[in-house]
Amino acid sequence: MHDNPVKVALRSGATSTGTWLTLGSPAVAEALAHCGFDWLVVDLEHAPNDPASAVEQLRAVDAARANGGRAEAIVRLAENDPVLAKRAMDIGARTLIFPNVNSADEAQAAVRAMRYPQNGNAGVRGVAGLVRAGRYGLDPVYVKNANEQVCTIVQIESRSGVDNAAAICATEGVDCVFLGPSDLAASLGHLGDTWHPEVVEAMRSVVAQARKAGKATGVFANDADDAKLFISWGVTFIGLHSDVRWLCQGAQQEAGRLEAGLQAEQAIKVHTAS
């Protein structure tokens, strides 16, 4: 079992970038895994995914890595639930993002959900050897070594989460605290305004609390300019929007360029004819 590169980067303080997979497409996952990202998030919260579709995307990312890509697959769960965590890990995910974590107790529940019971760690992950994560039972040491490679990322995206950020960040076993600007803005009464001063202040306060606790922070960024600003705050785990954004943005840009060119050409023809 090779070291989890997401966990290694978070603990070293290195900046890493990824994007969200929301289209449920293994082909899109494989293609984006060749585009220079460090990780890709298979989203089970706001995308038409379930474990059956997620495992195909994990296979696609693994195939890309075997052919020169470097991206590692991450899974974001639909909710902070140990059953959902167990199923995501059994299909091969080593890094999970738990949405809407509002307290230290909820953060601790996420940590426990990812770990097999071992050495008094209070883990609650159910043990099954014949799963993809353990090469379908062909990896004789997977169960014993799995806990060493798990990476727990918890999302703070509410007023309660911000209020309890210090305790959440101090929770043993949490590797990264991830900010969800859109939900946080809504929780603070500023739906759709992720750059409202109160939202910015809340996000920066979480980054500061994480730094005090020696934990990494992550954030969902709309574009590279936003990402650079977050990095200047000390954020090291940057989610650079999503597959659907890059697809639609690229299509709109080129369709717009073509339309503008055709209109200019038509104008020239009209002017010449007159």
What are the residue ranges of helices labelled H in 67-170?
82-90, 104-113, 142-149, 159-163, 165-169
Whether 112 contacts 172, CB under 8 Å: no
Please report which helix (H) or strand (E) contains residue 97, including its range. strand 95-98
Q: Which DSSP string do the residues of 14-82 spell out, in sequence order?
A: --EEEEEE-S--HHHHHHHTTTT-SEEEEESSSSS--HHHHHHHHHHHHHHHHTT---EEEEE-SSS-H
Classify residue 136 by its DSSP letter. G
Tell me the whole-structure pTM to 2 decimals.
Answer: 0.94
- pLDDT computed for residue 263 by the predictor: 83
- pLDDT computed for residue 231 by the predictor: 98
**What is the spatial distance between Cα 187 and Cα 181, in angstroms, rounded to a whole number?**
10
- pLDDT computed for residue 259 by the predictor: 87
Annotated catalytic residue, options 2, 34, 46, 190: 46
| Average pLDDT, 10 consecutive residues per value, the chain (274 residues) | 92 97 98 98 97 97 96 98 98 98 98 97 94 96 96 98 98 97 97 98 98 97 96 98 96 91 77 68
Classify residue 194 by its DSSP letter. T
Q: Active site includes 190?
A: no
- pLDDT computed for residue 51 by the predictor: 95
* CA–CA distances in Å: residue 109 to residues 40, 73, 75, 207, 260: 24, 22, 17, 22, 54
